[in-house]
Homo-oligomer: A and B are copies of this chain.
Amino acid sequence: MLGIQNNLFWLVPGTAIIALGFAWFFFKQMMKNSEGTPKMAEIAAHVRKGAMAYLKQQYKIVIIVFIVLTLLFALMAYVWKVQNPWVPFAFLSGGFFSGLAGFFGMKTATYASARTANAARESLNKGLQVAFRSGAVMGLVVVGLALLDISIWYIVLNTFVKGGDPAHNMAIITTTMLTFGMGASTQALFARVGGGIFTKAADVGADLVGKVEAGIPEDDPRNPATIADNVGDNVGDVAGMGADLYESYAGSILATAALGAAAFMHDTTMQVSAVFAPMIIGAVGTLLSIIGIFAVRTKENATQKNLLSALGRGINLSSVLIMVLSFFILKILNLENYVGVWLSIVIGLITGWAIGKETEYFTSAAYKPTQNIAKQSETGPATVIINGIGTGMLSTAFPVMTIVVGTILAYLTSAGWNFENMSMGLYGIGIAAVGMLSTLGITLATDAYGPIADNAGGNAEMAGLGEEVRNRTDALDSLGNTTAATGKGFAIGSAALTALALLASYIEEIKIGLIRIGETTLIVGEKVIPTVTATLSDFMTYYNVTLMNPKVLMGMFIGAMMAFMFCGLTMNAVGRAAGAMVDEVRRQFRDIKGILTGETEPDYAACVAISTKGAQREMLLPSLLAIIAPVTVGLIFGVSGVMGLLTGGLAAGFALAIFMANSGGSWDNAKKYIESGAHGGKGSKAHEAAVIGDTVGDPFKDTSGPSLNILIKLMTMVAIVMAGLTASWSLM
């Protein structure tokens, strides 16, 4: 390691510790607040217990999957010798830290809900502070643990990977580190799929029997599924979203480091700079996020508009500062074409912002698309569904074109406007993803704020707090819905960009794999090229990764199909689990006397258990398919088939994820728009139609759509870890 870069590197573990320290500080601060009345504390305890019980069950299954996979990786590393000996450990550490982040985040969220409701009894601002700072715990734990894991592995590998020339060592270090992403991906998969099924089984079940059949309002304590519904918000939106973004965050940094190592095999100093740049930008972005978090405050008599602009102020401050500082970071690192690379970072930040705005446009009731859907409710549920699906599909155009333009520009600016300069161009795509995610500390805080505010509203409703308090929690919740929509767009967009960066680094893994199994030369056309100096183009020719190769084309067909099949499996899983919930709620209404009159408390725990069991049973098949598909395609079709699979899955999965998230989001808000008085308001025929739209949208936006984020990243991660095996053997 070298002078200035070496010193700057220590920013990364240092920031990790600072971030975790602030997370601890915010947690302690939040815990000082009172949970309010005994009733409020009791409800919160129900939700907390349910959430932890679910998490425990989920971890039990995840641990089995991890044991099996670790054994497989150990085989690959120690017996077949097609992978790095560090990989099983890197895999485990990624899964462990991601799980830890989910655990802390959810613990905090479940402690915060009653405290937020109680703080809202005092003032809106007080409520915002408690909820947002609790969300910040999640944000900082995620980035802190990711930076910690990255630092530890870099230090360990840098100590142990010796011999050979330094440039090659760096390539081994970065490609090994990349495999810890698969641990995070696997954990995220189960969190998103399991959490998504849990939350929507509870939500759909609660709505179908409670709202539609029994005619009682949402979050009514008489509904046995209402605690499960609140547990679901934590399980799906806090733990699931956190694990998803943990993976994107770590994945983008690690992929970019690997691409940087590959781009500068000829220049060790430059190589170290290129590898450190994404890590240091991540670290500095985290410090700026902490500053941004402190900037979020509003007046005591704040309106909802004030609240939104308070959150916006924090994010904007962090974003503008990272734009400025990243220029100096790159200049100090003295990276080749640092102005161009800096522009890639700026493009990444703008792309993320734009996709958030586009999502807001298509899902907020303040704009035409959602208002049109609401209007369709006058001709019944069928037209609401047709229009919601049509608009969701149409809306894919904007984020996709944004990513297309952003990616091409990020590539070109880093490549010095030369398409042939592929290694720098791909590095540019990676660092754009890093830029987009650099202030994740604060963007994730606003995301996690949403379900906390939502639960606070539920708590206030169930505890029977006064109307003024519920109006305040409603204002907080409504703000949460806006940030949730933007956050979903951001999560999808960053997943797509991260997946592109991971895809680009796949070939680096193949290269290292070939060297490991002793393939030191490649025959490309009529030339013999040493594997170690082979360029990306050489590999493309060697494996014939062109669009005329039927293996590539068929891989693409399978990839696109995977996205649809995965969605179909998760949709049907929600349907089945919700059916079980409906049966249980009906049973309780029938068998337990006095529930509907409020004399007897329903058996909340039974509903939580139903959702837990449903999620547990249903998450296994789609999850295993996502892991098995790239392995199988690799074993049959080899490298070219795998690349077809990944790109087909990415292109189709990205569009499908936007469609599902936006359709779901706009149905939700169309319903709320009608509830606010439009088209006949609550209780009208139009409202009934809109409720059906919202129910259909639930698994769209909270189960299948978000799970696709993981699918597109995970398939690439699996391919990366399996690269050594694929390089050494395939059927065709």
The residues of A with any CB-CB pair to B shorter than 8 Å are 204, 208, 212, 376, 379-383, 385-387, 389-397, 400-401, 403-404, 407-408, 411, 419, 422, 425-426, 429, 500, 503-504, 507, 525, 536-537, 540-541, 544-554, 556-561, 563-565, 567-572, 574-575, 578-579, 582, 643-644, 647-648, 651-652, 654-656, 659, 692, 695-696, 699, 732
Do A389 and B547 touch across chains, with their CB atoms under 8 A apart? no
Rounded to whole angstroms, the CA-CA distance of A356 and B537 in the bound complex is: 41
Do B550 and A204 touch across chains, with their CB atoms under 8 A apart? no
Enumerate chain B residues within 8 angstroms of A696, measured Cβ to Cβ: 382, 385-386, 389
> Which listed residue (B382, B403, B536, B563) contacts A548, Cβ 8 A?
B536
Which B-chain residue is minimally distant from A539 (CB atoms)? B548
Rounded to whole angstroms, the CA-CA distance of A392 and B575 in the bound complex is: 14
Rounded to whole angstroms, the CA-CA distance of A171 and B419 in the bound complex is: 32
Rounded to whole angstroms, the CA-CA distance of A426 and B503 in the bound complex is: 27
Do A560 and B386 touch across chains, with their CB atoms under 8 A apart? no
Which B-chain residue is minimally distant from A417 (CB atoms)? B732
Do B561 and A655 touch across chains, with their CB atoms under 8 A apart? yes
Rounded to whole angstroms, the CA-CA distance of A655 and B659 in the bound complex is: 15
Given contact pairs A394-B565, A571-B390, A550 touches B407 in the complex (Cβ within 8 A): yes
Given contact pairs A208-B383, A654-B560, A546 touches B548 in the complex (Cβ within 8 A): no
Enumerate chain B residues within 8 angstroms of A204, measured Cβ to Cβ: 382-383, 386
Task: Tell me the minimal C-beta distance from A323 to chain B in angstroms.
Answer: 23
Enumerate chain B residues within 8 angstroms of A536, measured Cβ to Cβ: 548
Closest 10 CB pairs of A and B: A393-B568, A390-B571, A394-B568, A390-B572, A382-B695, A540-B546, A400-B561, A560-B651, A652-B652, A556-B651
Enumerate chain B residues within 8 angstroms of A648, measured Cβ to Cβ: 556, 648, 651-652
Which B-chain residue is minimally distant from A561 (CB atoms)? B400
The quantity of this chain's copies bound in the complex is 2
Do A571 and B386 touch across chains, with their CB atoms under 8 A apart? yes
Do A546 and B537 touch across chains, with their CB atoms under 8 A apart? yes
Do A393 and B565 touch across chains, with their CB atoms under 8 A apart? yes
Rounded to whole angstroms, the CA-CA distance of A478 and B541 in the bound complex is: 54
Rounded to whole angstroms, the CA-CA distance of A557 and B563 in the bound complex is: 14
Task: Tell me the minimal C-beta distance from A151 to chain B in angstroms.
Answer: 30
Can you offer 25 A-B residue contacts whose CB atoms are under 8 A?
A204-B382, A204-B386, A208-B382, A379-B582, A382-B696, A386-B699, A389-B696, A390-B575, A393-B564, A394-B565, A394-B572, A401-B561, A403-B557, A404-B557, A404-B558, A407-B553, A425-B550, A429-B550, A504-B548, A540-B546, A547-B552, A547-B643, A547-B644, A553-B651, A557-B651
Given contact pairs A393-B567, A397-B561, A568-B396, A380 touches B651 in the complex (Cβ within 8 A): no
Task: Tell me the minimal C-beta distance from A638 to chain B in angstroms.
Answer: 10
Rounded to whole angstroms, the CA-CA distance of A395 and B569 in the bound complex is: 10
Task: Tell me the minimal C-beta distance from A507 to chain B in angstroms.
Answer: 7
Rounded to whole angstroms, the CA-CA distance of A250 and B314 in the bound complex is: 61
Do A419 and B732 touch across chains, with their CB atoms under 8 A apart? yes
Task: Tell me the minimal C-beta distance from A506 to chain B in angstroms.
Answer: 9
Rounded to whole angstroms, the CA-CA distance of A401 and B559 in the bound complex is: 11
Rounded to whole angstroms, the CA-CA distance of A719 and B490 in the bound complex is: 34
Given contact pairs A387-B575, A396-B564, A411-B550, A382 touches B692 in the complex (Cβ within 8 A): yes
Do B389 and A571 touch across chains, with their CB atoms under 8 A apart? yes
Enumerate chain B residues within 8 angstroms of A422, measured Cβ to Cβ: 548-549
Task: Tell me the minimal C-beta distance from A527 to chain B in angstroms.
Answer: 8
Task: Tell me the minimal C-beta distance from A308 to chain B in angstroms.
Answer: 29
Enumerate chain B residues within 8 angstroms of A561, measured Cβ to Cβ: 396-397, 400-401, 655
> Which listed residue (B376, B381, B395, B544) contacts A692, Cβ 8 A?
B381
Given contact pairs A400-B561, A547-B644, A692-B382, A554 touches B394 in the complex (Cβ within 8 A): no
Task: Tell me the minimal C-beta distance from A417 to chain B in angstroms.
Answer: 10
Enumerate chain B residues within 8 angstroms of A554, measured Cβ to Cβ: 404, 407-408
Enumerate chain B residues within 8 angstroms of A390, measured Cβ to Cβ: 567-572, 574-575
Rounded to whole angstroms, the CA-CA distance of A382 and B376 in the bound complex is: 16
Rounded to whole angstroms, the CA-CA distance of A222 and B397 in the bound complex is: 42
Task: Tell me the minimal C-beta distance from A360 to chain B in angstroms.
Answer: 18
Enumerate chain B residues within 8 angstroms of A419, measured Cβ to Cβ: 544, 549-551, 732
Beyond contacts A419-B550, A536-B548, A563-B655: 14 other A-B pairs, Cβ-Cβ < 8 A, are A208-B380, A208-B383, A383-B575, A383-B579, A393-B567, A397-B561, A400-B557, A408-B554, A525-B525, A540-B544, A540-B546, A553-B647, A557-B655, A652-B652
Do A393 and B582 touch across chains, with their CB atoms under 8 A apart? no
Rounded to whole angstroms, the CA-CA distance of A644 and B651 in the bound complex is: 10
Do A568 and B383 touch across chains, with their CB atoms under 8 A apart? no
Do A208 and B379 touch across chains, with their CB atoms under 8 A apart? yes
Enumerate chain B residues within 8 angstroms of A376, measured Cβ to Cβ: 575, 579
Rounded to whole angstroms, the CA-CA distance of A558 and B152 in the bound complex is: 40
Enumerate chain B residues within 8 angstroms of A382, measured Cβ to Cβ: 204, 208, 692, 695-696
Do B383 and A565 touch across chains, with their CB atoms under 8 A apart? no
Task: Tell me the minimal C-beta distance from A618 to chain B in angstroms.
Answer: 11
Do B545 and A547 touch across chains, with their CB atoms under 8 A apart? yes
Enumerate chain B residues within 8 angstroms of A396, measured Cβ to Cβ: 561, 564-565, 568
Enumerate chain B residues within 8 angstroms of A385, measured Cβ to Cβ: 385, 692, 696
Enumerate chain B residues within 8 angstroms of A208, measured Cβ to Cβ: 379-380, 382-383
Rounded to whole angstroms, the CA-CA distance of A390 and B659 in the bound complex is: 15
Do A544 and B537 touch across chains, with their CB atoms under 8 A apart? yes
Rounded to whole angstroms, the CA-CA distance of A731 and B437 in the bound complex is: 31
Select the residue from A395, A504, A651, A692 with max chain B CB neighbours within 10 A: A651
Rounded to whole angstroms, the CA-CA distance of A561 and B560 in the bound complex is: 12
Rounded to whole angstroms, the CA-CA distance of A525 and B379 in the bound complex is: 62
Task: Tell me the minimal C-beta distance from A660 to chain B in angstroms.
Answer: 10
Rounded to whole angstroms, the CA-CA distance of A288 and B552 in the bound complex is: 36
Task: Tell me the minimal C-beta distance from A540 to chain B in angstroms.
Answer: 4
Enumerate chain B residues within 8 angstroms of A579, measured Cβ to Cβ: 376, 379, 383
Which B-chain residue is minimally distant from A496 (CB atoms)? B557
Task: Tell me the minimal C-beta distance from A439 to chain B in angstroms.
Answer: 25
> Which listed residue (B565, B651, B659, B732) contacts A559, Cβ 8 A?
B651
Enumerate chain B residues within 8 angstroms of A379, measured Cβ to Cβ: 208, 579, 582
Rounded to whole angstroms, the CA-CA distance of A582 and B696 in the bound complex is: 24
Select the residue from A376, A570, A572, A695 with max chain B CB neighbours within 10 A: A572
Enumerate chain B residues within 8 angstroms of A695, measured Cβ to Cβ: 382, 386
Task: Tell me the minimal C-beta distance from A627 to chain B in angstroms.
Answer: 16
Task: Tell me the minimal C-beta distance from A443 to chain B in angstroms.
Answer: 23
Task: Tell me the minimal C-beta distance from A350 to chain B in angstroms.
Answer: 17
Enumerate chain B residues within 8 angstroms of A550, measured Cβ to Cβ: 407-408, 411, 419, 425-426, 429
